Amino acid sequence: MKNTSSQFLPEYGSPPVDEVVCGVLFEPIKAFLLPHFGLLWEKFKPEYQNCQEVPPLMPTIESFEEFPPTEIEMPEIPLPRVWFLHDDGRILQVQRDRFLHNWRKLRPTDEYPRYRKVFHMFQTHLSTFQEFLNELRLGTVTPRQYEMTYVNLIPQGEGWETVSDVYKVFPDFCWQGEKERFLPAPDGINWRTSFPLPNRAGRLHMHIQTARRHDDKRRLFRFEITARGIGSDTSPNAMQAWFDLAHEWIVRGFADSTEPQIQRDVWRRKA
């Protein structure tokens, strides 16, 4: 896959990023059994000192032969997904066919560490996971699909006041409330849009919905952007090129979908 230049990507002094996820879906490692979660935790425990068991994720594969993406059935008795949790909010997610790393903003003062650092953490932990599989001769990570997600939270008062003001944040979406109509102004939105990545490298999915902040119940727009795919080169060496492409499309897609004035005045766009 040809890597595109990210030299002039938009940057923000105060981006609304709340969470970033990097992950890989791979061929199920059948030899990876329930006791191996505990052994793997020992590798990560110096940093990730807590763990939590959660339901497994359903595999979803981007396909250009059919749309929407194909959901693949889980095994009859799937193993759980396990979270290894860091005190600073980071999460490692492991299941038999998936490995993900989450950076999360826990406090208002937390600063997004930027893509390169987040991706490096994902790469490092994925390498540790592969080394663990090699040590116990359990198998290897054979990628089927990569994924990257940015979750942005845009609180009420930062460029908008009512749900009908959605066009002030997302100019492509507009509620025409100035004309006489039967329906009242909406009290919530839930919009999804998808775009193909170049050379069938996957798709970019955008999801805009209303939500409330946990701490003060303040209303907000939750803007989730996910790139999912793998491209024609499925070798491990091509992984970074795919993530660089995904990051570029997420950043440029965010800038293309949001109001320039808010980018300047609220998020302090630099470039």
Is the CB of residue 244 less than 8 Å from the CB of residue 151? no
Q: What is the pLDDT of residue 67?
A: 59
Percent helix / strand / coil, the chain, rounded to 5: 25, 30, 45
C-alpha–C-alpha distance, residues 84 and 136, integer Å: 20
**In sequence order, what are the beta bridge partners of 204?**
195, 227
26 Ramachandran zone, left/alpha/beta (phi>0; psi -120 to 50)? beta
C-alpha–C-alpha distance, residues 93 and 82, integer Å: 6
Element (H, E) at 17: strand 17-26
Other C-beta atoms within 10 Å of 171: how many? 14
For residue 166, give the 3-state DSSP assignment.
Answer: helix
Q: What is the pLDDT of residue 4?
A: 47
Q: What is the pLDDT of residue 73?
A: 57
Beta strand spans in 115-259 (E):
143-155, 190-196, 203-212, 219-229
Is the CB of residue 112 less than 8 Å from the CB of residue 15? yes
CA distances from 131 to 23, 119, 136 (A): 17, 18, 9
Look up residue 39 and give its two tokens: 């052994």
Fill in the amino acid letter for 7.
Q
| Torsion, Cα of 252, 99, 208, 225 (10° steps) | 10
CA distances from 92 to 120, 157, 187, 195, 229 (A): 14, 34, 35, 28, 20
Mean pLDDT per segment of 10 residues, for the chain of length 271 residues?
62 96 96 96 97 94 73 66 97 97 94 95 97 97 96 96 95 84 91 95 97 92 97 85 97 97 96 73
